[in-house]
Structure 1
Amino acid sequence: MHNMLSHALPDSSLLKLWPFEEARKLSERVKDRDSEKPILLETGYGPSGLPHIGTFGEVARTTWVRQAFEAMTGRKTRLLAFSDDMDALRKVPTNVPQQDMLQQHLGLPLSCIPDPFGTHESFAAHNNALLCEFLDNFGFDYEFASATKYYKSGTFDKALKRVLEVHDKIIAVIAPTLGAERRATYSPVLPIHPETGRVMQVPILEVNPEAGTVVWEDETGKRFETSVYGGQAKMQWKADWAMRWYALGVDYEMSGKDLIESVKLSSKICRLLGKEPPVTLTYELFLDAQGQKISKSKGNGLSVEEWLRYGTTESLAQYMFQQPSRAKRLYFDVIPRATDDYLTFVQKSEQQEGADLYNNPVWFLHNGEIRHKDTSPISFTALLNLASVANAHEAATLWKFLGRYDSALSPETHPYLDRLVSHALTYFNERVKPTKVYRAPTERERKGLTDLAVALEALPVSSSPDEVQNVVFEVGKRYFEKSELRAWFGCLYEVLLGQSEGPRFGVFAALFGLAETISLIKEALARSEVKLGEAED
């Protein structure tokens, strides 16, 4: 999902999309740096849980900033996917096997806990492998990094010595944000107990920067002097983040709104260590169908697997691309809109060049190489409506209508449309059909629908979608004021299709067929409100 783009961009002031804004900030940060040295962007992963839709969002969005920066500057970049696999397991996730076994290993680093799935040398190794497989499946270009490996190999040693040198200053930054009890025992250093292997959260009694050691006592009163090198200690979260930025020279990292305070504190610590913190972007968190924050433990969101059952990868990327700093509902009903937004942008790109093209999200979603074959002449919403009125269970039913609408359409000539047909059928039968309700028309709507059936009967069978749409408008204007026409179209969707929104009615009628649409209207006029499951198949 990434390559070096060498062709010249238009004047960068014309590039308005948010990844270009981020790229400008990053460019300002590194303007005095050796241009041959790659710029480092980082994403973080907590391997106590499985990769999820937020993981995809963060890596995709960081990749788009990377793409914008490389295109604007021609400079090389690296993307580091960093796994905090030396963190202690504080609570057992509910979605993994062997809960009792994991309970016995609370407090150990994730990389020292047996894999409950029995496939890898540790729980962290299992989840890290899933992360890499997950990112590879989407074609991301990244380097994987393990905290355990970096601590044990000495990669962080110089930075850890620096942490000890400014130990008390770090405490002064963090202590005011803690409660009294926690403040009394806080240290940025978490030694690993040499006997139990647990990550210890204890007061540090002495700090020796020259020797690289800390002195502490465990709960039995036994005293230890532990080296902070070679994986014998790790840093507490905010200090750990800052130490990593300092050690690796991270230039860019984004994070969720729930980490705003952590970013501020880690940035202060990074400056204490002696470097400027990276450019950061705070993205909003996802909300569920009721507008509540999505929680992995509640399972009230939408997984990547669920999205890709009902929609394409491009639709997921389109959803993630739009306005990362605005809170968005992440539920099944956003999939059709995201799919159609993507299709609209691809179609627009066919006539665009220069700044207009770079300001089209598809330039990012397709990695700068727009693939016009990855589109469809029929919207996803129209396919859903077609599946609905045809009560379709198989692709052949929809293709019968599509072929009649346009004889040039077939699964062979339009493979992307064929993918959408498959997703639309699954979405309709699993998400729409079980809850579909038609309402009976009001008296005014009944008169309008009766007139519409007569007007459509007078049209030639070969009428274009626009000609049908014009008739629908004309009939609507007889019964609804101009300001009320939205209600007329709402009536068509709710009475004929059993839903609150739909495609342009002219397109739908052309797809479904004029005769079939007229029959649909007459059936609706004869019907009171019923559930689809009770209607004739």
Structure 2
Amino acid sequence: MLPAIPSTPALIEAGRACTAWPFEEARKLIARLEKKPKDGPVLFETGYGPSGLPHIGTFGEVARTTMVRNAFRLLTDDKVPTRLLCFSDDMDGMRKIPDNVPDRAFLEPYLQMPLTAVPDPWTNEFKSFGDHNNAMLRRFLDQFGFDYEFASATEYYRAGRFDEVLLRAAERYDAIMGVMLPTLGEERQATYSPFLPISPTTGRVLYVPMKEVNARDGTITFADEDGRDVTMPVTGGRAKLQWKPDFGMRWAALGVDFEMFGKDHQTNAPIYDRICEILGGEAPEHFVYELFLDQDGQKISKSKGNGLTIDEWLTYASPESLSLFMYQNPRSAKRLHFDVIPRNADDYLAFVEKYPVQDEKTKLMNPAWHIHAGSPPKVAVPISFSMLMNLVSVSNAPAKEVLWGFIRRYAPDATPEKNPKLDELAGYAVRYFHDFVKPTKVYKAADEVEREALQALSAALMAMPRNASAEDVQAAVYDVGRAIPRYQDLKAKGATPEKPGVSSEWFSAIYKVLLGQEKGPRFGSFSVLYGLDETRALIGKALAGDFVKTA
């Protein structure tokens, strides 16, 4: 049973004015239902093409749709029933053989067969290629705890769940062709049909023109692969629709109220809508999201393999951090590369930490509400992910257990058992640093000014008590910087000639010389976490040129 959405009158009222995108979409859906009430549950749908394994885009679509569903549930005080249907287009023909199968030659005889008629090339555990990937989808969605119903196109077509609308498509064949033909080139127009019959002789999905569409009998006539004319019903899974008409048909047959899709579908959305209307349905509310880009700004492609996979993300950060990435700015194209992981890991923790003390309006703008369906957990993490990575950097910790020696110095009461989220972060930090940060580190040899400044910083740390606070250490870092002309900033807010500000160049020098990277942590917090004596030793090694030699 779907857990209830925590609500109060004040929270519902805040939701009516909330500008977070899931609430904006939920209000559109409520306005639609006010114009035309619905007897059954409100239906949210997502689509999946099982020609490949579920991927990060599949996660994003289901996660984002769930966020809209949760906003809708709050605004209706959870009194309007809802469903989330994850629909698999597993009756599509296998147009090409995937690169990741163990034996490509084994699948060659099954090209153009429905995906649920192609044997499972991996394990023989499942009846078909499509069934294998459908099982992977369900396992994938269950891993993240989504509330959903699974639907198979093959089962729906064969069970007759689309028969009524398919017969209507035969009746209104000319109207559908009138929508489709203007979108096609001259050569394709000559052979196009919205119906794709399944060959009774070969079992393949056929892209052939119709010789006759008999609306009275609900049949189609076409030339089969052996050249003979075949007449057969459009019902019972004997034929399916081309993908664009299939979108609209499915919306009409199932009464879909909301479906989101990527920008690559945007130009086709009017086609889907019109066919849905021709077939007697009302097009659902849409949400179009931008596509992901790789590190070079190129569109991510499954065939190219230039994207970040779910498993790769979850190797280095939590599922919640991935949900945050999906929540943030879905209408903007975003780079989906390894370097976005640390920021999302830390931002997620910051949002969850702020949530309990926020008012209703601010809570609904907090991504934590949307990630956790209104019930964010209480998470105590005294050290950020980025700080842990910097700690790994200077300690070269091979495992998270080594990090805990430093963590206890900073947070004496913390333990892996009492702080499982911190322990989890420590493991992520070790893996991320050794795989991505360490290979790119470039240490800078200190020039004379930098050498003088770092020696002064070491002396300041030596003079401080060993239990000095992070704030006290940070103040000492500033004092050292403002005493050196190169690092003085007279334009800083509140700066005076007697007490100038400190330029970012000082901190950049610290990071480049001591850590071998462009950016770094708040140095006061880092020094307390790592230890003042250890930090002085780090400065000594850097000034001796040890890091440059090693690099």
The TM-score range, normalised by the shorter chain, is over 0.9
1:324 counterpart residue number: 330
2:342 counterpart residue number: 336
Shift of 1:474: 2.6
Shift of 1:481: 3.9
CA distance in 2, matches of 1:179, 1:109: 26
The one-letter amino acid paired with 1:20 is: F
1:112-131 alignment runs, 5 A limit? 112-117=117-122, 118-131=124-137
* Deviation string, structure 1 residues 268-326 (Cα, Å, up to 9, x no partner): 21122232211111111111112111121222211111111111111111111111111
1:66-105 alignment runs, 5 A limit? 66-73=69-76, 74=78, 75-105=80-110
CA distance in 1, matches of 2:68, 2:301: 27
**1:418 is aligned to 2:414:** no
CA distance in 2, matches of 1:389, 1:165: 72
2:544 counterpart residue number: 526
Given candidates 40, 43, 47, the residue that maps to 1:44 is 47
Shift of 1:220: 4.5
Residues 525 and 145 (structure 1), Cα distance of their counterparts in 2 relative to 1, 3 Å cut: same
Shift of 1:219: 4.9
Shift of 1:32: 3.9
CA distance in 1, matches of 2:42, 2:508: 52
Greater displacement, 48-57 / 259-268? 259-268
CA distance in 2, matches of 1:488, 1:204: 74
Q: Is the Cα contact below 8 Å between 1:439 and 1:528 reproduced in 2?
A: no
1:26-425 alignment runs, 5 A limit? 26-34=29-37, 37-73=40-76, 74=78, 75-117=80-122, 118-373=124-379, 375-425=380-430
Q: Is the Cα contact below 8 Å between 1:78 and 1:142 reproduced in 2?
A: yes
1:497 counterpart residue number: 515
Q: Is the Cα contact below 8 Å between 1:157 and 1:230 reproduced in 2?
A: yes
* Deviation string, structure 1 residues 4-55 (Cα, Å, up to 9, x no partner): 3152323334312111111111111112454662100000000110011111
Q: Is the Cα contact below 8 Å between 2:16 and 2:23 reproduced in 1?
A: no
Q: Is the Cα contact below 8 Å between 2:262 and 2:290 reproduced in 1?
A: yes
CA distance in 2, matches of 1:481, 1:10: 50
The ranges of structure 1 where at least 4 consecutive aligned residues each deviate by more than 6 angstroms after the TM superposition are: none
Shift of 1:192: 0.9
2:498 counterpart residue number: none
**1:4 is aligned to 2:4:** yes
2:475 counterpart residue number: 470
Shift of 1:396: 2.4
**1:480 is aligned to 2:498:** no
CA distance in 2, matches of 1:462, 1:138: 43
Shift of 1:159: 0.7
CA distance in 1, matches of 2:73, 2:5: 7
Residues 166 and 473 (structure 1), Cα distance of their counterparts in 2 relative to 1, 3 Å cut: farther
Residues 351 and 238 (structure 1), Cα distance of their counterparts in 2 relative to 1, 3 Å cut: same
1:513 counterpart residue number: 531
The one-letter amino acid paired with 1:490 is: S
Q: Is the Cα contact below 8 Å between 2:291 and 2:299 reproduced in 1?
A: yes
Shift of 1:528: 6.9
Shift of 1:176: 1.8
The one-letter amino acid paired with 2:381 is: S
- Determine helix, strand or coil for the equivalent of 1:68: helix
CA distance in 2, matches of 1:96, 1:380: 37
* Deviation string, structure 1 residues 166-198 (Cα, Å, up to 9, x no partner): 211211212122121111111111111111111
Residues 363 and 220 (structure 1), Cα distance of their counterparts in 2 relative to 1, 3 Å cut: same
Q: Is the Cα contact below 8 Å between 1:2 and 1:140 reproduced in 2?
A: no
Shift of 1:477: 2.9
Two-structure CA RMSD over aligned residues (Å): 1.7
CA distance in 1, matches of 2:478, 2:126: 63
2:19 counterpart residue number: 16
Q: Is the Cα contact below 8 Å between 2:64 and 2:327 reproduced in 1?
A: yes
The one-letter amino acid paired with 1:64 is: M
Shift of 1:430: 2.0
TM-score by length of 1: 0.95
Shift of 1:63: 0.5
Residues 162 and 36 (structure 1), Cα distance of their counterparts in 2 relative to 1, 3 Å cut: closer
The one-letter amino acid paired with 2:480 is: V
Residues 406 and 219 (structure 1), Cα distance of their counterparts in 2 relative to 1, 3 Å cut: closer
- The number of residue pairs the alignment matches comes to 532
* Deviation string, structure 1 residues 104-128 (Cα, Å, up to 9, x no partner): 1101100111111111011101110
CA distance in 1, matches of 2:411, 2:161: 62
Shift of 1:456: 2.2
The one-letter amino acid paired with 2:21 is: W
Query: Any unmatched runs of 5+ in structure 1?
Result: none
CA distance in 1, matches of 2:211, 2:39: 45
Shift of 1:86: 0.3
CA distance in 2, matches of 1:354, 1:35: 30
Greater displacement, 85-94 / 405-414? 405-414
CA distance in 2, matches of 1:326, 1:417: 31
CA distance in 2, matches of 1:24, 1:480: 52
The one-letter amino acid paired with 1:4 is: A
TM-score by length of 2: 0.93
Q: Is the Cα contact below 8 Å between 2:294 and 2:307 reproduced in 1?
A: yes
CA distance in 2, matches of 1:89, 1:103: 10
* Deviation string, structure 1 residues 43-92 (Cα, Å, up to 9, x no partner): 00001100111111110110110000001113211000000000000001
CA distance in 2, matches of 1:349, 1:163: 51
